[in-house]
Amino acid sequence: MQPLLTSEPSKVGDYRLFARIGKGAMGAVYLGCSRGGRPVAVKVAKPELAEDADFRERFRREASMSASVGGFWTATVVDADPEAEHPWLATEYVPGPTLHQAVNEHGPFPEHTVRRLGAGLAEALQAVHRAGLVHRDLKPANVLLGPDGPRVIDFGISRAMAATGMTATGMFFGTPGFFSPEQTTGGEVAPPSDVFSLGAVLVFAATGNAPFGNENSAAMLYRVVHAEPDLGTVPETLRPLIASCLAKDPNVRPSTGELLDHLGHSGSPTGEWLPRRVTTLISAHTAELDRVFRGEPLSASNGGTRVEERGGSVAAGATPAAAGAAAAGPSSTRRDDSRPAEGSRAATANERPGAVTGDPERDRTERPLVRPDLAGPVFRSGRRINALLWAAFSGALAYGTVMIGANAVTHGPSRALLALGVFLLVLSCVLCLAQALTPGISLKINSDGLRISRMGLHREIPWSRVGRVGLVGSGKKQALTVWAHQEFTPHSKWWHRTREYYGGNKIFLVGATGGWWARRREARRLRTALRQYAPRSYDARLL
> DSSP labels for 311-346?
S--SSTTPPPPSS-SSS-S-BSSSS----------S
Residue 39 bridge partners (DSSP): 33
% helix, strand, coil for the chain, step of 5: 40, 15, 45
CA 531-536-540 angle, to 5 degrees, is 55
Q: How many CB atoms lie within 10 A of CB 30?
A: 27
Q: Torsion-angle region of residue 532: left (phi > 0), alpha (psi -120 to 50) or beta? A: alpha
Is 345 in contact with 370 (CB distance < 8 Å)?
A: no
Choose among 36, 43, 47, 46: nearest CA to 14.
36
Catalytic positions are 137
- Cα–Cα dist 142/153, whole Å: 5
For residue 6, CA distances in Å to 40, 265, 296, 302, 304 come to: 21, 50, 18, 18, 17
* Residue pair 96/145 in contact by the 8 Å Cβ criterion: yes
43 is in an annotated binding site: yes
Task: Give the C-alpha separation, 390 to 371, whole Å.
Answer: 37
3-state SS assignment for residue 40: strand
Q: What is the largest CA-CA distance in the chain?
A: 104
Radius of gyration over alpha carbons of the chain, in Å?
27
CA triple 537-540-543, angle to 5 deg:
120
C-alpha to C-alpha distance for 443 and 445, rounded to whole angstroms: 7
The length of the chain is: 543
Angstrom distance (rounded) from CA 328 to CA 332: 12
Q: Which amino acid is at 290?
A: D
Alpha helices by DSSP H, 179-310: 181-185, 191-207, 217-226, 239-245, 256-263, 276-293
What is the DSSP annotation of 139-193?
-GGGEEEETTEEEE--TTHHHHHHTSTTSPTT--SS-TTTS-HHHHHT----HHH
Can you tell me the distance from the alpha carbon of 136 to that of 157, in angstroms, rounded to the nearest whole number? 10
Bind-site residues for ATP: 43
